[in-house]
Amino acid sequence: MKLTQIHSAETGIRDITINGARLWENLMEMAAIGATDKGGNSRLALTTEDSAGRRKFISDCQALGMTVTSDAIGNLFCRLEGTRPELDPVVMGSHLDTQPKGGRFDGVYGVLAALEVIRTLHDAGLQPKRSIEIAVWTNEEGARFTPAMMGSAVFAGIMSLDDARARTDAAGVSVATSLEKEGWAGESPFGRTFNAYFEAHIEQGPVLEEKGLAIGVVTGGQAISWLDISVSGNSAHAGTTPMRNRTDAFLAAAAMASGLEQVAAEFAPAGLLTIGELSITSPSRNTIPGEVIFTLDLRHPRDEILSQFDQACRESLSTVAAKRGVQVSVEQHWLSAATPFDSDCVELVNEAAITLEYTHQRMISGAGHDAIHIAKHCPTTMIFIPCAEGISHNEAESIEPEHAEQGANVLLRAVCSRANQ
């Protein structure tokens, strides 16, 4: 391989683009590992299928002369040495594990777009100034072991290694046992300094497709508030209690839900509200519910607006409770601040989309991603591409080859610009 030293985005990178057909072929090869009968993928974290996907990826990296290391939670790092290997690397990546009946592109796209970037540099004989690495984070999906985004959390010091290793799957098998069985734990240190981290990903929402845009320039992750709500009325006999004498906790909760929907409308479209769990305590079909508990998931890109949203929800709950004669209690279960991405990295992605003349818009990430954790560790951003009807975590997940190619071209330019700075 002839290596030409390049020192800026203006030389070398300007004229090269990734090979879209090769990227697509590689995506389809990976999709054959753990393929499901309805055209999706099942490669649960740290299973033999996950390992098979990783091994294929590693051999493709090694064929390009990349070195491969892993850390104690099994995160993989495949490295293309730069001309100044003493400098901190620029890292691309995502995950190869999937939901039990997952799609072919969630996570996989980011890893294989990164591989295509390296292949393109290799073909062109270009060596960047900084080393470039591809990270494959362990257990992003959280489908076999909770929590999701485990590998990146341990790497970034958000979760302890001991805590992660002790987590077990439904069969009682621990992360520690699975790591040992599959052989992925290595000695690369946690929290190693990265110059920057770029993650390409399918949007997993409908916005880009609806607007006919090719690229989402992701500016950060949204703030999240999880509330636990408990509504207390009086349980009583379903057959003997007149309607006017009842304090039905469920009907009060139903009125609260419709009040909350009105609050959400005031914070739309950026504010999102979901009641994902609801249960009647000691349920019985011939007893008027005395207590109902439900969860509330509130999201907004801005911390201060989320806090107003949260407050408005609490006021609405109290108003309905007073009207209905029930007691309501609200407890904060979890609060996660918004994660703004690094403005320089975001700008590199934006400039790449402009230079390549791809339609694009700035947007925030609705879902959690490894990049949200890594953003606490180093300058970070993401690149989104459209997916059909926003469907993800589903075997029907689908993308257009053209979008896959465009996203990888943006990744190539943004990463190489950063690596040559």
The angle, 0 to 180 degrees and rounded to 10, between the axes of the packed helices 401-420 and 343-355 is: 130
Helices (H), 41-138: 48-62, 108-124
Question: Among residues 60 and 106, whose Cβ is nearest to Zn ion?
Answer: 106
Alpha-carbon distances, residue 87 vs 93, 128, 231, 419, 420 (angstroms): 19, 11, 57, 10, 11
C-beta closer to Zn ion: residue 149 or 214:
149
**Please, what is the minimum distance in Å from the beta carbon of residue 22 to Zn ion?**
22
What minimum distance in Å lies between the beta carbon of 107 and Zn ion? 4
Structure tokens at 397: 């997940």
Give 3-state DSSP helix, strand, coil % of the chain, rounded to 5. 35, 25, 40
Least distance in Å: CB of 369 to Zn ion?
Answer: 6
Distances (CA, A) of 337 to 30, 223, 225, 226, 299: 35, 5, 8, 12, 10
We find the least distance from the C-beta atom of residue 32 to Zn ion, in angstroms, to be 19
Nearest alpha-carbon partner for 382 in 370, 390, 391: 370
Element at 167 (helix H, strand E): none
Stretch that binds Zn ion, among 103-111, 118-126, 144-152, 284-292 (CB under 5 A): 103-111
Place of tokens 């990976």: 30
Question: What is the closest distance, in whole angstroms, from the C-beta atom of residue 283 to Zn ion in the complex?
Answer: 36
**Closer CB to Zn ion, 200 or 313, in the complex:** 200
Q: Which is nearer to Zn ion, 107 or 289 (CB)?
A: 107
What is the phi/psi pair of residue 137, to 5°?
A: -80, 140
In this chain, which residue has its C-beta nearest to Zn ion? 107
CB nearer to Zn ion: pick between 81 and 147: 147
Q: What residues between 337 and 396 interact with Zn ion by CB under 5 A?
A: none
Q: Which is nearer to Zn ion, 121 or 372 (CB)?
A: 372
Nearest residue (CB) to Zn ion, 106 versus 310: 106
Q: List, in order, residues 6 or more apart from 177 with CB less than 8 Å away.
A: none
Identify the CA nearest to 99 among candidates 391, 402, 329.
391
Name the residue nearer to Zn ion (CB basis): 107 or 151.
107
User: Which listed range, 104-112, 171-179, 216-224, 333-341, lies at the site for Zn ion (CB under 5 A)?
Assistant: 104-112
Shortest separation between residue 199's beta carbon and Zn ion, angstroms: 9
The one-character DSSP state at 97 is: -
Give least dist CB 121 to Zn ion, A: 25
Q: How far is the CB of 137 from Zn ion (least distance, A)?
A: 9
Q: With 0-12 CB in 10 A as exposed, 13-18 as middle and 19+ as buried, what is 123?
A: middle
In the complex, least distance from residue 106 CB atom to Zn ion, rounded to whole angstroms: 4
Phi/psi for 336 (5° steps) reads -125, 120
Nearer to Zn ion, 215 or 416 (CB): 215
Candidates 106, 203, 291, 405: give the one binding Zn ion (CB under 5 A): 106
- Toward Zn ion, which CB reaches closer, 140 or 291? 140
Question: Nearest approach, Cβ of 185 to Zn ion (angstroms)?
Answer: 22
197: left (phi over 0), alpha (psi -120 to 50) or beta: beta
Q: Are 218 and 341 in contact (CB under 8 A)?
A: yes
Residues 45 to 64 in contact with Zn ion, rule: CB under 5 A? none
Q: Which stretch binds Zn ion (CB under 5 A): 10-18, 30-38, 101-109, 221-229?
A: 101-109
Nearest to 60 by CA among 112, 136, 17: 112
Q: Which of 12, 34, 53, 107 binds Zn ion (CB under 5 A)?
A: 107
SS3 (DSSP) at 230: strand
Q: Which stretch binds Zn ion (CB under 5 A): 25-33, 84-92, 106-114, 187-195?
A: 106-114
Contacts to Zn ion by CB under 5 A:
106-107
